Structure 1
């Protein structure tokens, strides 16, 4: 289990109860182990962050980015956050909310291909 700030538990619950349309759509494609039988957790606290989706087996974080992520401050905060998560061995895939809403099949394919590559590293044929 990755370390997390226990003070973020309630905020994480609140975010799960107030998901964006993009998060809901992506969740519908990730839930119930639809991708390679992998479990994805939503609004998961890791360190001092709450990530949108987390798959521990693939060491993958998926972020659904709204407009606030595309300001200078947002881009810098995301860069620092991604760098910190990378130090834990996590890969962060970021998708724009509009990309998820308009091209969900393409987004899911990127996630699928990444997970396939990661799990095949652990159990070569």
Structure 2
């Protein structure tokens, strides 16, 4: 019988394999220095409103480093092994599985997390809160309206005057 309580009903664990769940527990206990640094920054530097991350979450046969379930966003901290072809193929397969499950995956190297933590957190924040597109033409009469006014004031190339 599965354990009772909110953790037993966590949507991220639905469909997670036993192996992935066990690995997630182990990885939570043994985070790397870059993972620990990013976890502290996610908890400290991101505004609390709408930025709840979980760490080392089992999703299907995989373990995601950090997951925001509400935004369906996964943040991965990649070590040096991710530069090799075999690992890159595994990452592609894994990313395809996670995308099919409705997640967007952001990847950062250990180096980026250790050397530019603030930039990494800013990128994550931007993914959580995308800016709306700028309207075109602009509401103050710029953009297309301004371009058409200036082109009507210039002589045409054929020599005809409008």
Given the two structures, how large is their TM-score scaled by the length of structure 2? 0.68
Greater strand content:
1
From the two aligned structures, give the one with the greater helix fraction. Answer: 1
Deviation at 1:33, TM superposition (A): 8.4
Greater C-alpha Rg: 2
Provide runs of 4+ in structure 1 moved above 4 Å. none
Gaps of 5+ in 2: 1-10, 133-162
Residue 114 of structure 2: aligned partner: 101
How many residues get paired? Answer: 119
Structure 1: stretches of 5+ with no match in the other structure = 121-125
RMSD: 1.8
Equivalent-residue separation in structure 1 for 2:96 and 2:21 (angstroms):
23
Q: Residue 91 of structure 2: which of 78, 81, 91 is its match? A: 78
* Greater relative contact order (CA < 8 Å, ≥ 6 in sequence): 1
Relative to structure 1, the CA distance from residue 107 to residue 33 in structure 2 (aligned partners, 3 Å threshold; closer, same or farther) is: closer
User: TM-score, length-normalised on structure 1?
Assistant: 0.88
